[in-house]
Amino acid sequence: MEPSSDSEIIERSLAEPAAFASLYDRHAAVVYRFLVRRIGPSAADGLLGETFRIAFERRASFDREHESARPWLYGIASRVLAHHRRSEARRLRATAALAASRETPLDLPQRTAASLDARELWPRVADAIAGLPAGERDALLLHVWEDLPYEEIAAALGIPIGTVRSRLNRARRRLRELTAPSGEETLTPSAARRGKIES
């Protein structure tokens, strides 16, 4: 079969639903890895199918100006993840614990008395991410974990590029505040958010 663009496959699948299979073949592994990063392997299994079922149902609304369906699929997966904030927070904390256990003092050369040691820092980073508003967390993780360019993040989340920038800036600011080595008061909002996630 001659190679066709994602957009052509989606167009074909409107009349021939089975054609949607090749969209899955192209992107399922990437979407699956993304879901695993965000909520871990066992929860990701089910969400992979859910993401593609939603994509299939909404395929008529795919903007066929776009060649690649990847940002669109990232966007659907992000919205699916929004219903699983607790699993995501748990996953982040587990990952942070792993990071803390791996990090030796040698990894932090400019460590001073005032800086947080790894055991404190990583859980704070995890809580900070988990506590971000969904829109900011989605933009942030598409940027730093998936390496999507700004315009693809914008396409994924259905927002203007300017909003991607401002969300990333806000996320950056919050992360800096919440993981600042000094200032016990910064722990309070983090703890409050953590409580909310777990409720």
Partner 1 sequence: MSDDFDRLRRLRPDRLQPHDPMDPKVLTEEKERLMSAIEQSAGAVHATSRTPSIYPRLAYRDVMAALEFLTRAFGFRERREARLEHPAGTLAWLEVGDGVVMIGESGPDHHDLYSPAEVGRTTGMVNVYVHDVDAHHARAVAEGARVVMGLEDMFWGDRRYEALDPEGHRWHFGERLADIELRSGRRR
**Which of these segments, 23-31, 67-75, 79-87, 150-158, binds partner 1 (CB under 8 A)?**
23-31
Q: Measured from the CB of residue 93, what is the shortest distance to partner 1 in angstroms?
A: 11
Residues 6+ apart with CB under 8 A from 15: none
Q: Measured over all CA atoms, what is the biggest interatomic distance in the chain, rounded to whole angstroms?
A: 66
**Residue the block writes with tokens 């929004």:** 82
92 binds partner 1 (CB under 8 A): yes
17 binds partner 1 (CB under 8 A): yes
Look at residues 72, 43, 36 and name the one whose alpha carbon lies nearest to residue 158. 72
Burial of 138 (0-12, 13-18, 19+ CB in 10 A): buried
| Crossing angle between the packed helical segments 85-102 and 20-39, to the nearest 10 degrees | 60
**CA 22 to CA 24: how far, in whole Å?**
5
- Of 145 and 158, the one with the shorter C-beta distance to partner 1 is 145
Size of the chain in residues: 199
Task: Out of 82, 115, 145, 191, name the contact with partner 1 by CB under 8 A.
Answer: 145
- Of 144 and 161, the one with the shorter C-beta distance to partner 1 is 144
45 binds partner 1 (CB under 8 A): yes
**Which of these segments, 64-72, 79-87, 158-166, 172-180, binds partner 1 (CB under 8 A)?**
172-180
Residues that bind partner 1 (CB under 8 A): 1, 16-22, 24-25, 28-29, 32-33, 36-37, 40-41, 45, 48-49, 52-53, 56-57, 91-92, 95-96, 98-99, 102, 121-122, 125-126, 129, 140, 143-145, 172, 175-176, 179
